[in-house]
Structures are given as C-alpha cells and as structure tokens.
Structure 1
Amino acid sequence: MIRLLIVDDHPVVRTGLAVMLSDEPGFEVVAEASDGEQAVRVAAATRPDVVLMDLRMPGVGGVEATARITAAGDAKVLILTTYETDDQILAAIEAGASGYLLKAAPQAEIVAGIRSVAAGQSALSPQVAVRLVERMRHPERESVLTARETEVLRLVAAGNSNKQVASSLGIGESTVKTHLLKVFEKLGVADRTRAVTLAMERGLLR
C-alpha cells in the first residue's frame, strides 16, 4: 500500500485528488495539508510514502517544504503543479523532489508517476523533461541579457507598461514585447514579475 499526503492550498483540488487516488488499487490517502508549513508537520507525524506537493502556496511554498521533508527523510516528494518554468523545475529538483508532473496530466500519468516515485525512481512530465534536456543542450540561453533587454526590463521593473516602455525608448510596442519574450526565454520564466525578481536575484538589475 502506497500511503499519500496531498498538499495544495485549494480545498477543491485536494478533495478531487483524494477521491481520484483513493479509488486506485494500492493507494491510501493518509492526510492532507493546505500549505508548506503544515505539510512538514503532517509528513513528520504520518510518515507517508509519497507527498504530492503543489508549488505556490501561502507562507511556506512547495520548494522549501520539499527540502525540509526530504532532508528529514519523512517521504519522497512528487511535485504536482500547474507551473513549469525552468527555475521552478530546477529549484524543486534541487530541493529533493523525485518527480515533477503537471496537474493537467492524464490520471494514468499521475498514477504511474506516484508508483515510480514510491519505487525509488523519478517521474517527469514530457513537457518538463523536454525543458530540462533543452536547458542542458543550450546553456547559452542563460547568457547575460543584452543592453537593450536590460533596459527594457529595468523600465518594466519601475512599473511601466509596454506602451510606456516603447515611448521611453522610442521603439514600437511590438518590439518591446519581442525583447520581453527573449528575456523570459533566457531567464526561464513565464511572466514579467518573475523576470524582474529573478534578474534582481542574479544581479542583472540594480
């Protein structure tokens, strides 16, 4: 019997997963948690085999909770989330996660992933596997931003819209969008907020 802990801040998601997985032979949902802090406590108390961990939750997030649970040896962690940016994938795996699946994955893929992780193997969704392979094949994509890309991102960080950035730099709004897409690709993110945050963390913006 594979004992499961489901961690997600959305009650409907937790309930849906619990119902779905309880119907699978050989699975037992022993507990649920609504945030990372609670997940760490519950994992220590119930010692599940596998923790299904969401990433973005209030308070302690999925990455930190994963690191604490795996460091304590309380369970193996399988990330189950809607997000798949490169930095999130790598952060979760570096924290000790044994797998990374998307919530949109077919039920059979999620079930197979749980069984693989419980057996000491890894489980990656096809989309995530492709992202990791591409990152290894093309490390140059992590290169430093160009001067213009940095300029665009600095204006975005100051709260300017694409239209305002275009006006400030004397370029078209579509050109601003193109620069931002290149920034997103280089930093492995999917939105402006994360691009600014990560660029600051890496010292690309001051």
Structure 2
Amino acid sequence: MSDATNLRVLLVDDQPLIRLGFRLVLEGAGIDIVGEASDGEQGLEFARQLQPDVVLMDVRMPVMNGIDATGYICQSTSAKVIILTTFDIDEYAFAGLRAGASAFLLKDAQPEELVKAVCSVVKGDSIVAPRMTARLIEEYTKTKKVDGYIPNPLYSKEVALLTPREKDTVLAIACGLSNTEIAQKFFVSEATVKSHVSSVLSKLNLRDRVQVAVFAYESGLVQPGGNSSA
C-alpha cells in the first residue's frame, strides 16, 4: 500500500496481545510503529515525545483512560487519534468525538480496514462509514433535545466565512454523505467536492469530517432532527 509508506503510528492499549496484532498488521503494510503504551498517561507522554502521525487508542485502561488521553493528545500534538471500540455505537464513541478523535474503529475490524483507517485519517478523510457518522451525530445531538436546542453563538462568525456551496458541503457531511454522493447531489466532480471539504476544514480550523459534522449541529446549520437552517 504505497500511501502507507513513512506513516508513524503509536499503539495505546493495555492488552499486549492486541498491540502485537495491530503491530503485525500495520508493519506488514509498511507502516512504522514508533512506540507502544499500556495506559493513557503513558500514551500521552509517548505521543508528545515521538510525534506520531496516528495514535490507535483503546478506551478502558488503567491510570488514565483513552478518552482523557485523546483530549490531551489532540490539544498538544498534531497526531490523529483513532478510538478503538468494541461496539459500533456506545457512550465512549461520543466522548471520543468530543475529545477530538478523528475516527472510530471496531477492535474486530479486518486487517485491511485497519490499514485503510490509518492512511485515511492522515489525509483528513473519515474512516467511519458515512452512515455510521450520521448515526453518531444523531445520538450525540439527542441530549440537546431535552431542554430545547440553542445554537452556540460563538460559531456565527465561522459560519459567515463559508460560501453558499461550502455551507451545502457542510450540511451534506452532517447528513453522512460521502464525497461521491455529494458530487452526485450537486452535479460536480469529486475533485471539486474535495476542494470544498479542504476549504471548509481550513476556514473552520477543524481536523476532519467528523468535526465538520459536529460543527454543523453546534453552529445551528443543522438542528437535532435533521432540519437545516440554511
């Protein structure tokens, strides 16, 4: 896999056998494992020292859990964090989303899925299936329905930076559409969509498509229930 060359990955999991399995798969694809940590605190320390491109992060670990470690890593390094989960939807996934994780991966994922995930997050792509992203965001926003939904006014300036087509792109991402589906929806090329996505990430200072989807809800561009304010 050519785009895996020179990628540097840090493994954070308290189970040695799981780390070994990930190491064998990733090294077999030409990816460099720069370190292994057995708890979140050690993972944070190694991430700061080693500056990996990607961190594979378990959730339940001693000393410091993976969610807290993810938050600190995203704040203090440029590494992309992939949260490792046992189930496709659970409270840890939402907590990881808020902490700054770029993606979620099931621990029983196929080897090729693991390699693809690592390569994809480095490019800013979402490795979560688009429909799963939509489910994650839907679950995430349920809490906002309880006492009434109020968009965060701090995002108004950021929204104003977007062109109409960029707003359309944000809405499409929040609906779980892939680049191919967005291209078909707006009758443009995938290259054009990628350009719009890149511009959105840059203007909003966001890390990836998952954060774009969260922004769509928190800014009020999309309200819980799927209603668009645009």
TM-score normalised according to structure 2 size: 0.56
Deviations 1:65-85 (A, max 9, x none): 000001002411011231444
Letter in 2 for 1:45: Q
- Structure 1 residues 10-159: aligned runs within 5 Å: 10-25=15-30, 27-125=31-129, 128-129=132-133, 131-132=135-136, 134-135=138-139, 139=142
Letter in 1 for 2:15: H
| Residue number in structure 2 paired with 1:190 | none
8 A Cα contact 2:89 2:136, kept in partner: no
- Distance change in 2, residues 1:24/1:18 (3 Å): same
Report runs of 4+ in structure 1 exceeding 6 Å deviation: none
| Residue number in structure 1 paired with 2:8 | 3
Whole-angstrom CA distance in 2 between matches of 1:33 and 1:142: 39
SS at match of 1:120: coil
Deviations 1:147-170 (A, max 9, x none): xxxxxxxxxxxxxxxxxxxxxxxx
Whole-angstrom CA distance in 2 between matches of 1:128 and 1:105: 15
Q: 1:133 deviation in Å? A: 5.3
Consecutive unaligned residues of structure 1, counting only runs of 5 or more, are 145-206
Deviations 1:9-59 (A, max 9, x none): 00000011111110103x101100000000000011110000000111112
Deviations 1:136-183 (A, max 9, x none): 7x8389759xxxxxxxxxxxxxxxxxxxxxxxxxxxxxxxxxxxxxxx
Return 124-133 or 39-48, whichever deviates more. Answer: 124-133
Consecutive unaligned residues of structure 2, counting only runs of 5 or more, are 1-5, 148-230
- Distance change in 2, residues 1:133/1:10 (3 Å): same
State the aligned residue count: 142
- Distance change in 2, residues 1:67/1:132 (3 Å): same
8 A Cα contact 2:10 2:35, kept in partner: yes
SS at match of 2:32: strand
Q: 1:103 deviation in Å? A: 1.0
TM-score normalised according to structure 1 size: 0.62
Whole-angstrom CA distance in 1 between matches of 2:45 and 2:122: 20
| Residue number in structure 1 paired with 2:192 | none
SS at match of 1:123: coil
Higher-Rg structure is: 1
- Distance change in 2, residues 1:31/1:52 (3 Å): same
8 A Cα contact 1:102 1:125, kept in partner: no
8 A Cα contact 1:86 1:131, kept in partner: no
Whole-angstrom CA distance in 2 between matches of 1:103 and 1:64: 19
CA RMSD of aligned residues (A): 2.4
Whole-angstrom CA distance in 2 between matches of 1:37 and 1:134: 31
